Amino acid sequence: MSFTEFQLLSVLAQEMNMRKAAERLFVSQPALSQRLQTIEKEWGTKIFNRSPKGLSLTPAGELVIAFANEVLHKKEKVLDTIQALETEVYGTLKIACASIVGQNWLPQVLKKYVEKYPHAKISLMTGWSSEISEALYEGNVHIGIIRGTPDWKGRKIHLFEDSLYLVDKEIQRVEQILETDRPFIQFKSDSNYYQEIQDWWYRQFQMMPKRSILVDQIETCKQMTFNGIGYAILPAITLNGSEGDFYRVPLVDEHNTPIKRDTWLLGYDSAFQLKQVRAFVEVIREFSRGS
């Protein structure tokens, strides 16, 4: 039986009158009577008793009508779900993100995303730029968030830029670096961040640091600096919300322009067609406007 036949039976059961049912179904009475006979033949039983006073259900007909109403109800629920799929955001948003952004910026954005789209799921991996690029190339993620200036042929959206600071508990001016024996704390990175710092250092001092400590994570570098072990060069994104008795000296280039780092959202055009990705981009824009 088709859904139209289930609907026909349901209307007949509601009206219990051939004429009224025919009017609701926009068919003639003879055509409705013929279709009912065909349905009863398919079921192998009478569904309605006919009399001058109208229709009445047979015991078998009560079962058939209950089944027809159940099918129509389920169809309505499925249609509602399909409509919700078109208006709501479902599916998994797969992101590969630079660790520094994943620790300091992304959680605030994802909080707004899950609040606005509670049916969506999130898969997040963090790592270095090379790992993010590899995940994108291999199709393991929809989008990547990367620091620096990426060499990316697909679509990319600029998210934000943040300044670099010399951070220390004692040093208040760049020139004081030459006077201190405190170590310069640096962290490993596979992006051009490390090279930017080296370039700035040699332009400024034309010599190696007196003492240095190299750690594997920026968060370790930050905590060592905050605890007074030495000084470091850190991006502003790591300092947001940090209060303490330390100094922040902005880094400038040879033209006295503040040195900044860019953060980009990358992906293939096909990924940006996905509803969960489009929704994420819109949340980022809302977050940026509210910042």
Please provide residue 266's backbone torsions phi and psi, each rounded to the nearest 5 degrees: -120, 155
Q: Are residues 247 and 169 in the same domain?
A: yes
Q: Are residues 175 and 242 in the same domain?
A: yes
pLDDT band at 250 (very low <50, low <70, confident <90, very high): very high
Q: Are residues 267 and 130 in the same domain?
A: yes
Residue 130 is predicted with a pLDDT of 82
Which of 40, 64, 87 is the last residue before a domain boundary?
87
What percent of the chain is modeled with pLDDT above 70? 95
What range does the domain containing 67 cover?
3-87
Q: Are residues 153 and 274 in the same domain?
A: yes
Arithmetic mean of pLDDT, 54-76:
93
CA angle (229, 233, 239) in 5-degree steps:
90
Task: Give the residue with greater pLDDT, 1 vs 29.
Answer: 29
Arithmetic mean of pLDDT, 186-197:
80
Q: Return the CATH number at 184.
A: 3.40.190.290
Q: Are residues 143 and 201 in the same domain?
A: no
- Is the full-model pTM beyond 0.75? no
Which of 44, 72, 87 is the last residue before a domain boundary?
87
- The β-bridge partners of 55 are 50
The pLDDT tens digits of the residues spanning 113-142 come to 999 999 889 999 998 888 898 999 988 999
Arithmetic mean of pLDDT, 215-221:
90
Residue 148 is predicted with a pLDDT of 84
- How many C-beta neighbours within 10 Å does residue 146 have? 25
Q: Are residues 156 and 167 in the same domain?
A: no
Indicate the average pLDDT of the chain: 90
Structural domains counted in the chain: 3
Q: Return the CATH number at 32.
A: 1.10.10.10
Q: Return the CATH number at 96.
A: 3.40.190.10
User: Lowest mean pLDDT: which of 25-39, 81-95, 133-147?
Assistant: 81-95
Q: Are residues 68 and 48 in the same domain?
A: yes
pLDDT band at 243 (very low <50, low <70, confident <90, very high): low
Task: Give the residue with greater pLDDT, 150 vs 205.
Answer: 205
Query: What is the Cα–Cα distance from 165 to 260, expressed in whole angstroms?
Result: 9
Residue 1 pLDDT greater than 60, yes or no: no
Residue 110 pLDDT greater than 80, yes or no: yes
Which of 87, 113, 143 is the last residue before a domain boundary?
87
Q: Are residues 166 and 36 in the same domain?
A: no
Sign of CA dihedral 102, 108, 109, 115: positive
Q: Are residues 175 and 254 in the same domain?
A: yes
Q: Are residues 122 and 144 in the same domain?
A: yes
Residue 85 is predicted with a pLDDT of 65
Residue 3 pLDDT greater than 70, yes or no: no
Q: Are residues 272 and 145 in the same domain?
A: yes
Q: Are residues 64 and 189 in the same domain?
A: no
The pLDDT tens digits of the residues spanning 151-178 come to 888 899 999 999 999 999 999 999 999 9
